[in-house]
Amino acid sequence: MSGRIATDYEIKDSGNRNMSASYTEAELPYVHKVGKPPKQDLLKEIKTTLKETFLSDDPLKPFKDQPRKKKFVLGLQAFFPILSWSRDYSFSKFKGDFIAGCTIASLCIPQDIGYAKLANLLPQYGLYTSFVPPLIYAFMGSSRDIAIGPVAVVSLLLGTMLQNEVDPVKQKHEYLRLAFTATFFAGITQAALGFLRLGFLIDFLSHAAIVGFMGGAAVTIALQQLKGLFGIKNFTKKTDIVSVMRSVINSAHHGWNWQTILIGVSFLIFLLVAKFIGKRNKRLFWVPAIAPLISVIVSTFFVFITHAERHGVNIVRHIEKGINPSSVHEIYFSGPYLTKGFKIGVVAGLIALTEAVAIGRTFASMKDYQLDGNKEMVALGTMNIIGSMTSCYVATGSFSRSAVNYMAGCNTAVSNIVMSMIVMLTLFVITPLFKYTPNAILASIIISAVVGLIDIDAVLLLWKIDKFDFIACMGAFFGVIFVSVEIGLLISVVISFAKILLQVTRPRTALLGKIPRTSVYRNIEQYPGATRVPGVLIIRVDSAIYFSNSNYIKERILRWLTEEEETFKDHPKVEYLIVDMSPVTDIDTSGIHALEELQSSLYKRKVQLVLTNPGQTVLDKLHASHFADHIGEDKIFLTVNDAVLTLAPKMEQA
């Protein structure tokens, strides 16, 4: 609906002068009238909102207008993506996947043994976790590059939370059962989020919080490895930096073993140099990938021929041979440990999910393909549920192994199958050879692996871009290293929500001025050359107006008016206050009530309220509440420029 403002009208000048002017139709600029929007179908609106929330990717679109048989096939492919991409699989792709699978297997085997120790579990459970879950993921996952297995952060988190409930030494069997129970509920949590399409919930953990949490966890993990690196026997069970350093220093005179330190530090230097070489030259990615396995082989050989274990060097000793035994009967489905396992599983599952989805999205963007987040959650959840029944603990995507997988030239998830088969052969044949592997090597492998989790560049970027994000990052970091992993995680979540609340309750508002020789109005702080229109105050609200911020927005607008009148006393008095509502995506009853109060306050000051460019949702609610009738439809405009041209043409032309 469009129209032209009346051809003859009075223009009230500021101050004591009143001037009337007649404008012919040819002289008047065209002003598009903002009419009442068509009535919205409430049911359709609710349906659209639910669809955008839970089905934004329209997963049912491929099934439309398809025969029943085709729908069945598409349904199977939706749950098992391998049925889709395997049709185009070729030997050339298998060569890339085979090389990648062998490469990540050489990296994961020594890491798995070390990560199991982080979780206070026997070494074979780390290897079990790199056998069954990768096979399940290969059939159900949608990422081509992610490498599945135990990871340092989740292992530490799981180990820390489990030992708070059960002593891993005195109550070995109960501890193991609780670990499987937590893994089961971690999988249930992940799969439920995927099935219910609630993946958007993990986005509430901000990037800044993740950077800080990962960095703090990396420092904590590295400090925990000082026990193995120095050969300390009596070591604190706490994870905070103060307790760990006190334990290390107190054992310096009698608890350190120089042979262990020599082995650990020597191979740590070797691993860091190998990592540096791989980082400098991308073609040599295989050097840091095979360095851990080389370290294990060489150190194990030297310990075996010198019998260093007789001189205080701690070794792995026995690793149980054979593939995963069933653990279905070990999961707690009743009793007091059920709720404890559920609590630990939910936390571990969410962290594992966040890490895996972040890794999957990173590599998907690098290869330019789409990653279905909800399918990923279902795949990760299913593999952990099955894993909990086959003696595995929480598995997820590993960034270091996924990076090696990517650089080794993987094409599909078959690389995970190849890795899984090599781990299976290791469990059947090679595990007895790890008997003389020194714990110092596992400690040095873990330290070299977690160094990459400390992202200094990301922290510096956070400082440059958003100081609040930097505070969130540092809060999570210091919470982890000075208190505990759980507290650091809690701090990161709290700060992330605090940022959201702050942005919602204290939205930005801006004073607008006209850019010279244009009809554009912009923030005068951003564009100092923008000029004010005499007698008119133009303010933009950069947020939806809800109950949480409506009162603040009203008071902030009135403060703008007071400040303007005090600053420009010699200028014409403000007669019109224009609120640009372009960024206002929604408004509730509290917001409309705040506008009514604002209009009432402005009326007492003899200032007229004018609105510009309200969106369809906002305009519909303004009419439904009769506020549009109360303010007058002639006070609602399409643009700020239309409002100024109509209400203050003399001022605008000046």
- Mention every residue, 6+ apart, whose C-beta is less than 8 A from residue 509: 539, 540, 541, 542, 553, 556, 557, 560
Contact 291, 104 (CB under 8 A): no
Q: Strand pairing partners for 509?
A: 541
Residues 282 and 361 in one domain: yes
What is the tens place of the pLDDT at every residue in 26-42? 455 677 777 676 666 66
Please report, as a single letter, which amino acid is at residue 50: L
Amino acid at 542: D
Q: Which of 501, 516, 536 represents a domain boundary (last residue)?
A: 501
Q: Tell whether 308 and 452 lie within a shared domain.
A: yes
Domain co-membership, 415 together with 558: no
* 205, 333: one domain: yes
Q: Considering only residues 387 and 634, tell me which one the structure prediction assigns the higher pLDDT.
A: 387
Cβ atoms within 10 Å of 619's Cβ, excluding its own:
20
Instruction: Please report which confidence band the pLDDT of residue 9 belongs to, taking 50, 70 and 90 as the band edges.
Output: very low
The whole domain housing 48 covers 42-79
3-state SS, residue 281: coil
Q: Domain for residue 578, yes or no?
A: yes
Q: How far apart are CA 460 and CA 360, in angstroms?
A: 24
Gyration radius of the chain over CA positions = 32
pLDDT value of position 564: 86
4 touches 30 (CB < 8 A): yes
Alpha carbon distances (Å) from 457 to 211, 289, 331, 400, 453 = 10, 23, 42, 17, 11
- Among candidates 425, 422, 428, which has minimal Cα distance to 321? 428
**pLDDT score recorded for residue 40:** 65
- What is the distance between the alpha carbons of residues 289 and 108, in angstroms, rounded to a whole number? 9
* Buried/exposed 114-138: b ≥16 CB within 10 Å, e otherwise: bbbbbbbbbbbbbbbbbbbbbbbbb
Asked if 485 and 545 sit in the same domain, the reply is: no
**Residues 6+ positions from 414 with CB-CB distance below 8 Å:** 89, 93, 94, 97, 98, 101, 138
Q: Which two tokens stand for residue 152?
A: 């340092």
Of the candidates 631, 650, 654, the residue with the CA atom closest to the CA atom of residue 34:
631
Contact call for residues 615 and 581 (beta carbons, < 8 A): yes
Kindly report the CATH number assigned to the domain that includes residue 576: 3.30.750.24
490 token code pair: 């809690």
Same domain, 67 and 136: no
Pair (555, 421) in one structural domain: no
pLDDT band at 73 (very low <50, low <70, confident <90, very high): confident
**Residue 484: what pLDDT?**
85
Residue 28 lies inside a defined structural domain of this protein: no
Is 480 a residue whose pLDDT tops 80?
Answer: yes
Helix residue ranges per DSSP H, 38-90: 42-54, 68-79, 82-85
Residue 373 has pLDDT above 70, yes or no: yes
Distance CA 404, CA 416 (A): 12
Do 231 and 211 belong to one domain?
yes
For residues 121 and 179, the answer to whether their CB atoms sit within 8 Å is: yes
Beta bridge partners, 539, equal: 511, 579
> Sorting pLDDT into bands at 50, 70 and 90, what band is 472?
confident
Please work out, in degrees rounded to the nearest 5, the angle formed at the alpha carbon of residue 39 by the alpha carbons of 38 and 40: 110
Average pLDDT rounded to a whole number, residues 390-400: 93
Q: 388-402, 419-433, 488-502, 598-612 — which is least confidently predicted?
A: 488-502
Query: Are 446 and 552 found together in one domain?
Result: no
In a domain, 270, yes or no: yes
CA distance 484 to 639: 54
Nearest CA to 109 out of 281, 284, 239, 300 is that of: 300
Given 501, 530, 559, the domain boundary residue is: 501
Does a structural domain hold residue 432? yes
In this structure, the answer to whether residues 103 and 216 fall within a common structural domain is: yes
Tracing tokens 């439809």 back to the chain, one arrives at 633
What percent of the chain stands above pLDDT 90? Answer: 51
- The mean of the pLDDT values for the chain is 86
In a domain, 420, yes or no: yes
Q: How far apart are alpha carbons 276 and 450 in whole angstroms?
A: 14
Looking at the domain assignment, is residue 26 inside a domain? no
Domain assignment present for 451 = yes
- The mean pLDDT value for 430-435 works out to 88
In a domain, 22, yes or no: no
Q: What is the pLDDT of residue 13?
A: 41
Per-residue pLDDT band for 198 (boundaries 50, 70, 90) equals confident
Q: Among 462, 478, 501, which residue terminates a domain?
A: 501
Overall domain count for the chain = 3
CA 524 – CA 518 distance, rounded (Å) = 14
Q: Which pLDDT score is estimated for 403?
A: 87
Q: Copy the structure tokens of residue 506.
A: 């204290």
User: Does residue 94 sit in the same domain as residue 72?
Assistant: no
Task: Verify that 177 and 60 share a domain, yes or no.
Answer: no
